[in-house]
């Protein structure tokens, strides 16, 4: 295991940390960045929307054309209210935004667009150079007073890259993580435990870090992308934050992700994340299964 910090100071139970406080340094053990300069993708989403992307060293030119069938008929996971993540992706012409990319396996890339052209929004893309399949996640901060649902909503699509004939399984929602219990070490100062409770929720606690002693049960979504590769996303109730992670539960036991949330000063903030996975247990339900 990577060397942890000796600091095990517990957080004040009455002082809930803001998103930017716990996210600081959470990318310390992230896998190295990859350049996609010269790469062009034309993603066709399962609702017919087409997203065209052309990458340079630090930015990506992109546009999205929603299919007529996708407009007004989208369903979501974690509705963020008016102008929510449930809306189809569409742009008025071509946009330019920063991106970061990580090659999580030789043929699989995690790409995150912390959008500057569209306020309080992010796009995350996982794609394979081998199967030519992709998985797209849209995260969007909703307005204040979004009701009982988390303020940051998310929507998910399977897609094709257009770079070749697709092979293998279509990415889809998965129950494979239910009952699993893992530790996640993101830095010498960040250690979290996750328990995957159902197809809709997971429980977490901070074992080490500024949130030490804090924990909760929040909404979550899991999709299987390939053997051992799972997209895991959560949407918190207590603070306005959501995340997108790609867990490699194969030989690497690494995770790569990104956050979108509201910082302590009220501004929207994007953060990169990543680290090591340590499976510590699992349970099997003997009869009735969780939702």
- This prediction has a pTM of 0.90
The pLDDT score that the predictor gives to residue 83 is 41
Mean of per-residue pLDDT scores for the chain = 91
Query: Of 50, 29, 25, which is closest to residue 40 (Cα–Cα)?
Result: 50
Contacts of residue 105, Cβ cutoff 8 Å, sequence gap at least 6 = 229, 248, 252
CA–CA dist 206, 257 (Å, integer): 17
pLDDT at 46: 96
DSSP type of residue 239: S
**18: pLDDT confidence band, cut at 50, 70 and 90?**
confident
- Which helix (H) or strand (E) segment holds residue 3: the answer is none
Cα gap 181→184, rounded to integer Å? 10
| Confidence band, pLDDT 50/70/90 cuts, at residue 3 | low
194 membership: H or E segment, kind and range: strand 190-196
pLDDT score recorded for residue 78: 40
End-to-end CA distance of the chain: 34
Q: Residue 190: which of 18, 5, 1 has the closest Cα? A: 5
Q: Region 272-279: what's the mean pLDDT?
A: 98
* pLDDT tens per residue across span 173-209: 999 999 999 999 999 999 999 999 999 999 999 999 9
Q: Which element (helix H / strand E) includes 21?
A: helix 19-23
Structure tokens at 199: 């197809």
Spatial CA neighbour of 78 closest among 222, 259, 234, 216: 234
What is the reported pLDDT for 242?
A: 96
Query: Tokens 């901070």 — which residue?
Result: 206
pLDDT single digits (tens) 35-76: 999 999 999 999 999 999 999 999 999 999 988 766 655 444
Residue 2 has a pLDDT of: 60
Could you tell me if 247 and 232 are in contact, meaning their C-beta atoms sit under 8 angstroms apart?
yes
Query: In which band, very low, low, confident or very high, does the pLDDT at 162 lie, cut at 50, 70 and 90?
Result: very high
């Amino acid at each position: 295991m990577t060397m942890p910090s000796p600091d095990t100071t517990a957080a004040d139970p009455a002082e809930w940390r803001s998103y930017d406080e716990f996210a600081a340094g959470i990318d310390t053990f992230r896998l190295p960045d990859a350049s996609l300069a010269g790469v062009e993708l034309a993603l066709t989403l399962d609702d017919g929307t087409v997203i065209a992307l052309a990458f340079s060293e630090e930015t990506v030119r992109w546009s999205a054309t929603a299919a007529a069938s996708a407009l007004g008929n989208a369903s979501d996971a974690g509705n963020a209210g008016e102008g929510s993540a449930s809306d189809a992706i569409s742009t008025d012409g071509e946009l330019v935004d920063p991106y970061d990319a990580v090659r999580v396996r030789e043929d699989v890339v995690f790409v995150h667009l912390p959008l500057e052209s569209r306020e309080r929004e992010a796009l995350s893309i996982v794609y394979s150079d081998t199967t030519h399949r992709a998985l797209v996640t849209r995260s969007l901060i909703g307005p204040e007073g979004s009701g009982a649902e988390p303020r940051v909503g998310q929507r998910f699509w399977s897609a094709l890259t257009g770079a070749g004939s697709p092979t293998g399984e279509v990415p889809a929602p998965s129950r494979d993580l239910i009952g699993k219990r893992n530790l996640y070490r993101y830095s010498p100062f960040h250690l979290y435990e996750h328990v995957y409770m159902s197809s809709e929720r997971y429980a977490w606690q901070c074992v080490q870090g500024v949130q030490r002693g804090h924990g909760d049960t929040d909404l979550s979504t899991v999709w299987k992308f390939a053997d051992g590769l799972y997209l895991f996303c959560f949407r918190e109730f207590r603070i306005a934050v959501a995340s997108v992670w790609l867990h490699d539960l194969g030989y690497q036991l690494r995770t790569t992700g990104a956050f979108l949330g509201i910082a302590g000063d009220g501004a929207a903030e994007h953060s990169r994340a990543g680290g090591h996975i340590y499976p510590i247990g699992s349970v099997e339900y003997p009869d009735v299964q969780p939702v």
